[in-house]
Chain A
Amino acid sequence: MKKAKYWPGWVVIFSVLVGCVFDFGLSGSSIEEHSSRRRADIIKIDSLVAYGDLEKSPVEFLHDKHTDAMAKKNMDCTACHLKLNGQIYPKFKRIEDTGRIEAMNVYHEGCISCHGKMNIEKEKTGPIACDDCHRKKNQYTSSRQPMGLDKSLHFRHLEASENKCQRCHHEYNEAEKKLTYTEGHEGTCRYCHGKETKENRISMRLASHIACINCHLKTKPEKTIRPPVNCSGCHEAAFQKKIKKATMVPRIKRNQPDTVLLKAVSEDLLTDKSVSRMNFVPFNHKAHENSNETCRGCHHASLKSCKECHTLNGSTQGEGVSLEKAAHKPGSKRSCLGCHEQIKHTEKCVGCHLMMGRNRRMPDASCLTCHAVPISEIGLSSDPDHEKRIVESILQSKNRITETYSAEDIPERVTINRLSSQYEPVDFPHKKVVTALIENMKDDKLASYFHNREGTICQGCHHYSPRSSRPPNCGNCHVKLWDQDNPSKPGILGAYHQQCLGCHTAMKIEKPIGCTECHKEKISSN
């Protein structure tokens, strides 16, 4: 018998099916993508993670939003932050967490009381209900950029602190259990303050905010440049760009040497010749200071010499990295070879260096370019002045321009006509390219140090053959098809295009583009 129907059955089934297809509107596009949702001041409140699994999702807290709101009410940092030793402590309303319930209560009482008060007074305020703070889905994405001091900013801080290094730099004395300052022992904060707080060694996050913000808050009102005290002032990319760059930054004074003779082991071990017979490396420390924004580029864990932690066989202090690896590891930013490889892949150099595999074995003779001073030249007694003179003389003599063959030996134009079925032969302006490359490199100290034999730069294109003023043709080695025994060796068509187009694309050379600018189309007779 027919029952009274509210909806016809087919309508219900149809709408359910449509809802299934479109997920009932639950999965919308992520609202995080919108630009207003990208902020640098997001703090993820998940302090309870130290006490076990979280019952509710972490809270996305927007710090700048709160400082702005507090400023409107004429309240400062002390509204939410306690003071420790006269300095604002960055944790919320406490110095340290004592327990799970206590930590939770600090936040709930601290946040909800203020929101509740403002709510009663009918002001626009933050959430009070549980799931409005502990949201399941993130509402914002972080645009926070890491912040640090480069040489220019450090110099400006030097001026601001009247050259009193002890204002920021300190060391921890384990015996007396207090902070001390010794002149000549300054280093970056990160040498001690790491990612996490370990016992009484606070994390870099805590240390930097305590040190920086408290000092910034003390800026006298008459100063025109106001250092940042809120999140975006340091961590927002747009504000970072606005940081004034000092025009003439003098060299940091830390008693660092101008030149060093790098030895594999300390002097006392050198008397036993079997420990290390490696040639010494004359190292221009001053020049290398200019190519790094901070000392941490090379001195990543301390300002000591590398070999003190990176022993010949590796030590626990050096995390097992041997001295050889520390100096030569190809992929690392901190090793000599690795850093040089990175520079070789910058736009100015990458055209020739693109095809050279980073893990390739360097030619044996190239070791001598760096390892230039045999032990015998120094002798067993290391007289520092004698060493210094040797190092400086070698470094001076290496500061030449990039070597090439004489002008008559470099052909003006080269005709490439090995394949010409569809296109005319290529009239290649050979000398123009060589001259442009040399011009590009002339001020580069690294390039001229290593391109120190004539014929070296020719090998950018005339590769896999000995240095010569009459190198072989591409077609002598690259035949019609690719080489199965040597998978990176293409056939002649691929060789031409990968070499030429590879360089042009990597170095972002505008012309020539398209096919016919290099070789005109052949007008077919049929």
Chain B
Amino acid sequence: MSISRRKFLGWFGAAGLSAAASTSALAAGNKHFEGYPGSFGVLHDISLCVGCRRCEAACNKVNALPHPNEPFEDLSVLDRERRTEAANYTVVNRYEKERPDKPQFRKIQCNHCLEPACASVCFVKALKKTKIGAVTYDPDVCVGCRYCMIACPFEIPAYEYNNPITPRVTKCHMCYPRLVEGRLPGCVEACPMEALTFGKREDLLKAARARISKHPDKYIDHIYGETEMGGTSWLYISNVSFSDVGMREDLGVIPAPQLTSGALSAVPIVAGLWPVLLMGIYAVSKRKEMMFKKEISARHDLFQPTDEEDD
């Protein structure tokens, strides 16, 4: 059908105005999930970590992972900053950029967020937040899309790129099978400095606050993971600033699923309702045209047929 320039600009302007008047896609909500009650977590006291790598060795043993090239007693691997990999659910890094005479060590592993981005993004429910706090992975349903690796704000999930037939996403699962039996995670049991303490998340928060208030000049007055990304089950306290040990401080307190829930909640409406609506409008307007043409051809005594073509 023909549409005049004026009409086109009018529709365009109206569409633009309505788009500009819309609000952000964040879901309106004042609900704040504080974790399943009684769920567990781990408190990592960065000031106590000495970089001995016993946690890495224990994780390797408990999960029956392949042995790495360098033994765990080799501390020269700390010379470079590593990230989690297919056979390394956890790594310890050394940070000495800010203070060369006093290196700091930190253990990196899945933070078991209260509202995990990876679980939210996984459309086959391979990653699940369990009620006891661990975020577990089911390799049987995973399709290998690796959305979880993109979504994780801490860049933790790793992938078995070397395995062509049945690759899996790998990450720390807080030794979920051991937790179910009432045992401690392997890394927690192995740490000689007790830089890792296991307990209920609410108890760990209290313990962290008590430690900070006992030594206010030693610790930074912040528990990392209390609110970051909506809260994590793996909490950190530190004697140096968190960014000095490679931890992101720009993540904010909004959980990852909440960032996308607004846009995602609009998808069913867009996919389901709009086609029906638009097709309906089209059908009605097409029918209107057809009726108009019928009426004209019925009254050929009044109207002369023309050569004009609709375009």
Interface residues of A (CB under 8 A from B): 331, 357-360, 482, 484, 487-488, 490-491, 493-495, 497-498, 501, 515
Which residues of the other chain, A, contact B193 by a CB distance below 8 angstroms?
Answer: 494, 497-498, 501
- Complex contact A498–B194 (CB within 8 A): yes
Complex partner residue of B215 from A357, A482, A490, A494, CB under 8 angstroms:
A357
Given contacts A357-B214, A358-B217, contact A487 B194 (CB under 8 A): no
Near A by CB (< 8 A), chain B positions 44-67 give 48, 50, 52
The residues of B that contact A515 with a CB separation of less than 8 Å are 52, 192
**Which of A487, A493, A501 is the most central at the interface, judged by chain B CB atoms within 10 Å of its CB?**
A487
B211 within 8 A of A: yes
B window 179-227: CB within 8 A of A: 191-194, 197, 199, 203, 206-208, 210-211, 213-217
CB pair B210 A358 closer than 8 Å: no
Question: Contacts A358-B215, A358-B216, A359-B216: A497 and B199 contacting too (C-beta < 8 A)?
Answer: no
* Contacts A/B (CB < 8 Å), 11 sampled: A359-B213, A484-B199, A487-B206, A487-B210, A490-B197, A491-B194, A494-B48, A494-B192, A498-B48, A498-B193, A515-B192
**Which residues of A are found within 8 Å of B215, using beta-carbon distances?**
357-358
Give Cα A229 to B192, complex, Å.
Answer: 58
Query: Which of A359, A494, A498 interacts with B214 by CB under 8 Å?
Result: A359
Chain B residues with CB under 8 Å of A357's CB are: 214-215
Distance of A360 Cα from B210 Cα, bound (Å):
12
- Contact with B194, one of A358, A484, A490 (Cβ below 8 angstroms): A490
Residue pair A501, B210 in contact (C-beta under 8 Å): no
In contact, A484 and B203 (Cβ under 8 angstroms): yes
Q: Name B215's closest neighbour in chain A (CB-CB).
A: A357
Range, interface on chain B: 20 to 34
Q: In the assembled complex, how far is the CB of residue B220 from the closest CB belonging to chain A, in whole angstroms? A: 16
Given contacts A494-B193, A497-B192, A515-B52, contact A488 B213 (CB under 8 A): no
Task: List residues of chain B with CB under 8 Å of any chain A CB.
Answer: 48, 50, 52, 191-194, 197, 199, 203, 206-208, 210-211, 213-217
**Within the assembled complex, what's the spacing in Å between the Cα atoms of A316 and B167?**
72
Cα(A484)–Cα(B215), bound, Å: 18
A488 touches B211 (CB 8 A): yes
Q: Which chain B residues border A490 with CB–CB below 8 Å?
A: 194, 197
Contacts of A331 in B (CB 8 A): 216-217
Interfacial chain A residues near B213, Cβ < 8 Å: 359
B211 CB to nearest A CB, Å: 6
Identify the closest chain B residue to A341 (Cβ): B217
- Given contacts A358-B217, A488-B211, A497 and B194 within 8 Å (CB-CB): yes
Tell me the complex Cα distance, A488–B214, Å: 8
Q: Are A494 and B210 in contact (CB under 8 A)?
A: no
Q: Complex formed: what's the CA distance from A497 to B196 in Å?
A: 13
Q: B188 → chain A, closest Cβ, in Å? A: 10
Per the bound structure, the CA–CA distance linking A357 and B217 in Å amounts to: 9
Kindly name the residue among B192, B199, B211, B215 whose own CB sees the greatest number of chain A CB atoms within 10 A. Answer: B192
Closest to A492 in B: B194
Which A-B residue pairs are the 6 nearest by beta carbons? A494-B194, A487-B207, A357-B214, A487-B210, A490-B194, A497-B192
B211 touches A487 (CB 8 A): yes
Residues of B within 8 A of A494 (CB): 48, 191-194
Q: Which residues of A contact B214 (CB under 8 A)?
A: 357, 359-360, 488
How far is A497 from B52 in the complex, measured between Cα atoms in Å? Answer: 12
